[in-house]
């Protein structure tokens, strides 16, 4: 991964918790580290094959000088969002916002915040429940996912009732798929999913057995991951109609549904 740095850019801004900060303004210093998967310009020596530094500078300047919020943490997030949207080649940005004249009693050089953000990817998850109030379990899981910092553009498919796969002597499932954009990295997202499952009393005593909630990552953008703890795309997703039926409401997967188990509409949404 290659890195481009725009260091210590000075701007006059109005971000602050006090009225005088918003009115009078003060100095802000911003540094950016832009990460790109091999800068093509290294080989072509063409300006169009690298990041437009001037454009990134102007975007950062516009955000800092026009912001009137309270926290430099939020200002840093706005800058990260603006930079990542400005050039699709940027995979990750690290933003440092310094406030050398912060209204804090004491001797210091500056007060600063540093955040790192990845390019947002469209993620699709499969949700299933066949214990307790199945629909309530799915709704609770969706709300928990939607509330994760870094999740936006949340979309839901219809809910379907499906025959169980593997261990057939168990209640029918309710299944659906959800999609959203996020910069949460795949393994971090997996950890957060496990927390949500545990909060909803998910147990794993029986393989393919009954459960209050089951959440699987089906797609994470175009990423391919082959690890013991995580495989993306999810293995056998295309062989399970309880995945492909709701999935096609969110993503064109270009294939017919497998006829492995009966799937019937339970509740249409959207």
Do 245 and 229 meet the contact criterion of CB atoms below 8 Å apart?
A: no
- Dmax (CA) for the chain in angstroms is 70
**Beta-carbon count within 10 A of 167 CB:** 11
Q: What angle do CA 221, 50, 45 make, to 5 degrees?
A: 135
Q: Which of 22, 61, 78, 99 is catalytic?
A: 99
Using CA atoms, how far apart are residues 116 and 85, in angstroms rounded to an integer?
15
Using CA atoms, how far apart are residues 248 and 177, in angstroms rounded to an integer?
9
Annotated active-site residue 23? The verdict is no
Burial class of residue 48 (count of CB atoms within 10 Å of its CB; 0-12, 13-18, 19+): exposed
Count Cα neighbours of 100 within 13 Å in the Cβ-side half-sphere: 10
Active site residues: 99
């Amino acid at each position: 991964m290659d890195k481009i740095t725009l260091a210590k850019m000075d701007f006059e801004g109005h971000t602050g918790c006090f009225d005088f900060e918003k009115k009078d303004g003060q100095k802000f210093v911003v540094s950016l580290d832009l990460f790109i998967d091999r800068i093509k310009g290294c080989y072509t020596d063409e300006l169009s094959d690298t990041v437009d530094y001037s454009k990134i500078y102007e975007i950062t300047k516009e955000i800092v000088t026009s912001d009137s919020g309270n926290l430099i943490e939020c200002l840093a997030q706005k800058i990260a969002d603006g930079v990542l949207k400005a050039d699709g080649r940027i995979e990750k940005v690290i933003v440092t916002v310094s406030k050398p004249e912060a209204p804090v009693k004491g001797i210091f050089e500056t007060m600063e915040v540093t955040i790192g953000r990845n390019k947002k990817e469209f993620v699709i998850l499969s949700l299933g429940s066949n214990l307790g109030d199945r629909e309530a379990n799915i709704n609770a899981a969706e709300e928990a996912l939607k509330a994760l910092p870094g999740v936006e553009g949340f979309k839901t498919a219809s809910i379907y009732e499906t025959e169980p796969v593997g261990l057939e002597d168990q209640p029918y499932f309710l299944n659906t798929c959800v999609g959203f954009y996020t910069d949460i990295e795949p393994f971090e997202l997996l950890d957060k999913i496990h927390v949500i499952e545990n909060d909803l009393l998910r147990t794993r005593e029986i393989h393919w057995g009954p459960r209050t909630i089951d959440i699987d990552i089906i797609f994470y953008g175009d990423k391919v991951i082959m690890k013991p703890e995580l495989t993306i795309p999810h293995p056998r997703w295309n062989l399970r109609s309880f995945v492909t039926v709701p999935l096609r409401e969110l993503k064109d997967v270009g294939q017919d549904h497998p006829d492995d188990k009966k799937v019937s509409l339970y509740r249409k949404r959207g």
